[in-house]
Chain A
Amino acid sequence: MAIQFFIPHQISLEVYRGALDWLMIIAGFTMVLGIGSLIIHHTNKLKHQGEGWGYSVVTLLGLVVMAIAGVRGMGIDTPFMQIFIYAQNPIQATMFSLLAFFIASAAYRAFRARSFVATLLLLAAIIVMIGRVPIGAKIWPPIRDISNWLLDYPNMVAKRAIVLGVGLGMISTALKIILGIERSYLGGGK
């Protein structure tokens, strides 16, 4: 793919399209691996009545029920979609909503002016939190512009610097793997 980026010729394009097709096919098959592991893990837990084995029953039941429902069709009025809309949607939204509470507790615990840098962080957080909602402009109109300035300049500068470093790190890691310098991810030791 790296070399194909520089070669626009038709032959290169055919190889590239073939690779894309393979990627899509393989990605679909990986689910077989995952489902197998899930079933083995939870049936073992059931067999040995490990801690929390009741949740394993729920997991396996959910897998079977959705698989059967999905085979029957996935249109808007099918059982599959009804379970999705009325069970899975609310559960996932609930998990995401935990963030609101955790942000509050994390901010309360972490944003203490223990040092100069921590104080800067604290002030920036307060300005942006108030400036990004309409009530901020009602309380003090300039806070919106200050908040936007903080996001457009200091925030952008820091993020770009980190992203540049990450980009170089990614290239370096990719090169180490391609050149065989780094092999521990293969599980083969040095």
Chain B
Amino acid sequence: MNIYEKMMSIDRRILFVLIALSVIIPLLKPLLLPINVTKEAKHLYEFVDELKPGDVVLLSLDYDPSTMAECHPMALSILRQCFSRGIKVIVTSLARPEGLGTAEMALTQAAKEYRKKNGEDYVFLGYKPNAAAVVLAMGENFRLAFPNDFYGSDLENIPMIKGLKNYKNIRIVVTVSGSAIIDTWVIYAGGRYGVPIGAGVTAVMATDYYKYLQSGQLVGLLGGLKGAAEYEKLIKHPDMATKGMDGQNIAHLMIVFFIIIGNIGYFLGKKAKASKGMGG
């Protein structure tokens, strides 16, 4: 096997090790590269920032542990922004049952930081199967989908949610998800009931939702770890996402490097074969 063939067929385990190193080393030795804020993230931030204390936001944390790395920092940032401004939050988790744990983790962490009380400053409704049915039911009345909150309290006895009926009492729905449940929120809650929708999604899905931004069906969009880092910058609370951006920078460059090496090997190998054929 000549050098060009070797360049074209590097053992994938070597690639895996190099990718691992390109993520681990910046975590240990941060590069502290600046983060630019996109207009999609800024629109979402400004919408929430213009709400008044006492306004209610519905935050649907529709992600599970697999997408936690990208979605959890977004959820924390939005909760921190709401709690710091006295905005009340209703939290649900509709995508998968595993999402309950991650949603509760984010909520209790943010509530502890800002000393917010369950029932007065936030309500955690929990999970129900069949997201489309639940989203539609909440458009009529929250109690249709969730007669009790996650901890078993009757919604009628919870001070924060007593006067709230449906999306008409909500200023914005923000869904943080690694699945296509965003479409459910946009089509049913936004399209049918007219409530503004904001979204935070994994990087791979972000490009799929620019169409909603362009048509105005989404108020703002956070895409992947970068989107989470942008929001942390906007709320002036750098955390996990900001730390992870350095690793992402280097990993992207490493993949580009692999592609270039592979193509160099391909073209030079082709050239060598052609000249061998002509010579032989």
Contact = CB atoms under 8 A, between A and B. Distances in A.
Given A85-B101, A92-B98, A112-B262, 9 more contacts: A24-B137, A84-B101, A92-B66, A93-B66, A97-B69, A122-B259, A130-B253, A132-B203, A155-B210
Contacts of B136: 20
A90 to B, nearest CB: 8
B267 interface: yes
Contact of B210 (A23, A134, A135, A152): A152
15 contacts: A76-B104, A92-B65, A101-B15, A101-B19, A104-B19, A107-B258, A108-B259, A111-B259, A113-B266, A129-B252, A132-B203, A134-B34, A134-B226, A156-B214, A159-B211
Closest 9 CB pairs of A and B: A27-B129, A92-B65, A89-B65, A96-B66, A135-B249, A92-B66, A108-B258, A105-B12, A20-B133
A145 B188 CA distance: 33
Interface residue tally of chain B, by bracket?
35 or more
A118 to B, nearest CB: 10
Interface residue tally of chain A, by bracket?
35 or more
Nearest to A95: B66
A144 interface: yes
B240 interface: no
B258 A74 contact: no
Interface string A124-145: 0110011011111110000010
B211 A156 contact: yes
Contact of B101 (A24, A81, A114): A81
B153 interface: no
B36 A144 contact: yes
Nearest to B204: A99
Interface of B: 10, 12, 15-16, 18-20, 23, 33-36, 64-69, 98, 100-102, 104-105, 108, 128-130, 133-134, 136-137, 140, 144-145, 151, 203, 207-208, 210-211, 214, 226, 245, 248-256, 258-259, 261-263, 266-267
A41 interface: no
Interface of A: 13, 17, 20, 23-24, 27-28, 74-76, 81, 84-85, 88-93, 95-97, 100-101, 103-105, 107-109, 111-114, 122, 125-126, 129-130, 132-138, 144, 151-152, 155-156, 159-160, 163
B19 A100 contact: yes
B230 to A, nearest CB: 10
B263 A113 contact: yes
B69 A96 contact: yes
Contact of B267 (A100, A113, A130, A137): A113
Question: Which of the listed residues A90, A108, A137, A151 has the most CB atoms from chain B within 10 Å of its own CB?
Answer: A108
Nearest to B225: A133
A40 to B, nearest CB: 22
Contacts of B33: 134-135, 138
A126 B101 contact: no
Contacts of A138: 33
B210 A89 contact: no
Given A20-B133, A107-B255, A126-B259, A84 B210 contact: no
Contacts of A133: 226, 245, 248-249, 252
Contacts of B69: 93, 96-97
